[in-house]
Amino acid sequence: MKTSFEIRVASRELARQFYTAAGNSFLKTITEPVTNSDSSYKRMHVLPDACGVIAHALEYEKGQHFDLSSWKKERKGKTTHRRIDIHIYSAKWSGHKSRTCELVDHAEGLSPDEVKAAFEQLAADKSEVSKGRPGRSLFGRGVSDVLFAHNDGCVYSYKNGVLTEASFSFDRTKDDRPRCDLYIRKRVSSSKLKSLHLLPGENGTCVTFQLNNDCHIPEEGTIVQALSQFYMLRLINYDPDVSVRVYRYRANHKAYDDVLEYDFPTGDVIDRFKVSIGTPVENVSLPPLIMEGI
């Protein structure tokens, strides 16, 4: 006699996974939507996934002085300018709930079908949605983790005159699994788009959520530096044709904004290395992983 049953994941385990992935880290939380916006711009403008700085850096030989400033200066303006805005609301005067974050781009945008395909299955292969491009897929596991780890998660995407709103919810005390409600608006007022920092006649996406109470927002004196130097954002912040602008709405009606910038430290190259790592999987023919560095 044979019998089988489906194993379900307990809601508290799903909540733990969401929280562990992004819920307790402000920097990881912000990074996920930013990297997806960057990938969307690259698909839109048919740009390579890498900006080229790493390949150039690896041209330095042992004993040479390492300085990428001239390369960065020469590269500026060689590709289409891309802008990603981060809005962080910490005060009631802003008209938003305290600790609300909005991340906005003016890239591809998503149709209702694309929104559904991007989010209906957690951790699935999204290569079809991302047009077969390698690297980070369009709204993959990372952004889903962010939307469910925090509160009031929504994705507003404007494409070809249609605004799609995806509202995410997950209450581990009563929900068996995460939920997404989809609203499609074919008539959108300019005031509605303005409230989302989107533009009439221009595709784009606004990801918004309210940080959970365990996620600490860095102090005003450190937040720009922390985001600029965060290891998952360095290459985006280094690209001279990308502007990641951070708006902060603080107490006493004080508002701040800065563009994130990163520069690799200068110094002398003390060594070069190249390592080949073979596959650990037995009886499987896979090419070795080549690692090169200075």
**The predicted structure's pLDDT at residue 84:** 98
Rounded to whole angstroms, the Cα distance separating 263 from 265 reads 6
Q: Does the pLDDT value for residue 14 go beyond 80? A: no
Specify the fold of 11-43+81-263. Heat Shock Protein 90 (3.30.565)
**The predicted structure's pLDDT at residue 74:** 94
Q: What is the pLDDT of residues 116-130, one digit of tens each?
A: 988 887 655 555 555
Considering only 66-80, 123-137, 246-260, 264-278, which range has the smallest mean pLDDT? 123-137
Rounded to whole angstroms, the Cα distance separating 136 from 153 reads 21
Show me where the domains of the chain are located.
11-43+81-263, 46-79+265-294
Q: What is the pLDDT of residues 47-59, one digit of tens each?
A: 998 889 999 999 9
Q: Does the pLDDT value for residue 251 go beyond 50? A: yes
Mean pLDDT of all residues belonging to the chain: 88
Overall average pLDDT of the 208-217 stretch: 93
Q: Binning pLDDT at 50, 70 and 90, where does residue 42 land?
A: very high
More confident residue, 179 or 63: 63
65 - beta bridge partners? Answer: 268
Considering only 63-72, 123-132, 170-179, 180-189, which range has the smallest mean pLDDT? 123-132
Q: What is the pLDDT of residues 152-169, one digit of tens each?
A: 999 999 999 999 999 988
Overall average pLDDT of the 229-253 stretch: 95
